[in-house]
Amino acid sequence: MKKIAFINCFFGKTWPDYFDYFLKGCEYNPTIDFYIFTNIAPKYKIKNVHFIKFDLQKFNEMATEKLKVSVSVKDAYKLCDFKPLYGVILQEYISKYDFWGYCDVDLMFGNIREFITNEMLDKYDVISPVDKYPAGFFTLYRNIPFINKIFRLSKDFRKIVQSDRHFCFDECNFEFTTVQSQDIQYIDSEVESMALILRKLEITNKIRYFHMDMAQEFLHSRNTHIWRDGNIYDFITEKPYLLIHFINIKGLPSFHIEKYTKAGHNKKEVFYISPNFIGKSLKQQFNFQLFINPYQRKIRTIITKVKAITFGKSYSFPFVEDSPYKSANQEVFFYKKSDRSVIMLTSTGNINNYLYNEIFLYQIKENHYLCWNKIDNIQYFAKFHYLKDDEKAYKIEIEDLKFTEKGTMYLLNK
C-alpha cells in the first residue's frame, strides 16, 4: 500500500467549530497521515494526525531557504498560493511518503482509499477531485523531485511568492466560471496558475493527471448526506463521495454546526450533513435554535447598522489615487470625495470602461466599516488590514449583511 501524507497550515487564535468533524474524518482514514502546522494547541490526540508547532515566521524562514527566494508571508490566507510548494518547503516532514497532498480543514472526509486506490496511485502523478482545476481543498502529488517542483514552470512564480496578494495560484487564478466552458490554456489569466501548468504537462504527456469530480460542495444538490463508518453518501441517491467541503455553507447564518461529542466505547457514529446542518441527529435540522439562528443574526446586523450610521466617526481615507486594488479578475480604484464617502471605480472587462459608485463608510470599530452604496442601495461590511507602519490597507475584506457572500481586494503594488 502506497503511503500518503496530507499537509495543512493553519494559523490563528482558535479552531473553527467544524474542526472536530475534520478530525473525525481523519481518524477514520488510519492508513493516511495528516500533518497540521499550527500555532494553536492540539484539541486531542489522534494516532495519524500530527500537530507541528509552527508560525508564519518559521514558515517564511523555511520557504526562503528552500525556494532560494525571499518570502515574507504576513497573512495566513496568502498560504493558499504556497500549497503546491509544500512538497519542497516541508519535504523533511514527508520524505518517507509515496504521495503528499494538501487539504483544508473545512471539510469532512469519507473513505479516501475507496476513491484513491493503489491502482490509481500507480497510474497517476497528480490527483484532483475536481475536474476543471486542481482543488485547493484536496490535491495529491507523487513525491518525486520533478513533480514537487513543477510550480517553478510558471513564469509568474517569483511574482506570486513575493507579493502580498492572493493569486489563487493553487487552483486557476480565480477563473472558476470561465474554466467550466473553456480550456484553461485558452483563457487570458493574469498569472500562470497550477491549473494551466498541469494542463500543459498533461497534453504533452509529461505527467499523468487525474481530475474528476468526486467531492460534494452543495453546488448542484440540496440533499442531506450521511457519514457512516467513515463513508459519505447522498441520503437520497446513495451516491458516494470522497469528502464534503463546507466552503459554500460554513458562513451561512442558517448552517448549524452541532457541538461534537465523542461516542461511547465501541459505539458506531453517524453524522448527517446538509446545507443547513451537520450533526448526529437528523431531527436536529428542525429544532427551534436552528430556526431562530438566522433571525438572531439579522437582529444583530440591524443593531450594528443603526449604531454605525448614528455614531460612526468620519474616516480619513488612506487611499492613494491611481493605485488600484485587485478583486479576483477586477481592478478597483478609490478616490476620496468627502469625509464620509469615496468614489469607487470597478473595471468591467472592457477597455477604459469602469462602473462608477459613491460609497459611504460608517465606522463600526477600528478598521471595521459599514459600506453603503446609496445609489443601488447595496450595503456590506468591510474590514481593512494594514501592515506595520503602512498607512494604506494592503487588503480589504468585504462581506454582505446576510453573511452569505465574501470577497477580498488586494493592493496591486504589494
pLDDT tens per residue across span 345-365: 888 766 567 788 888 888 888
Inter-residue contact 405 to 339 (CB < 8 Å): no
Instruction: Using only the alpha carbons of the chain, give its radius of gyration.
Output: 22
The confidence score (pLDDT) of residue 64 equals 97
- Cell numbers 461590511 correspond to 381
Q: In this structure, which amino acid lies at residue 256? A: H
One DSSP character per residue, 329-380 reads TEEEEEEE-SSSEEEEEEE-SSTT-EEEEEEEEEEEETTEEEEEETTTTEEE
The confidence score (pLDDT) of residue 396 equals 87
The confidence score (pLDDT) of residue 230 equals 95
Question: How many contiguous H segments (helices) and E segments (strands) does the chain have?
Answer: 10, 24
CA distance 167 to 361: 27
* Nearest in space to 108 (alpha carbons), one of 210, 247, 4: 247
SS3 33: strand
The confidence score (pLDDT) of residue 394 equals 82
The conformation of residue 410, written as its DSSP 8-state character, comes to: E
Order the strands of the 209-211 sheet from edge to edge: 49-53, 32-38, 4-10, 99-103, 138-142, 126-128, 209-211
160-189: pLDDT as tens digits: 999 988 999 999 999 998 999 999 999 999
The confidence score (pLDDT) of residue 196 equals 98
CA distance 124 to 335: 51
Output the average pLDDT for the chain. 88
CA distance 222 to 90: 38
Residues 6+ apart with CB under 8 A from 73: 56, 59, 60, 63, 79, 82
Phi, psi of 237, rounded to the nearest 5 degrees: -90, -15
Q: Name the grid cell of 58.
A: 518559521
The conformation of residue 112, written as its DSSP 8-state character, comes to: H
The confidence score (pLDDT) of residue 318 equals 60
CA distance 285 to 276: 7
pLDDT less than 50: residues of the chain: 288-289
Inter-residue contact 241 to 110 (CB < 8 Å): yes
The confidence score (pLDDT) of residue 204 equals 97
Q: CA angle, 48 as apex, 46 and 50 as ends, to 5°?
A: 80
CA distance 169 to 160: 8
The conformation of residue 98, written as its DSSP 8-state character, comes to: S
The confidence score (pLDDT) of residue 289 equals 47
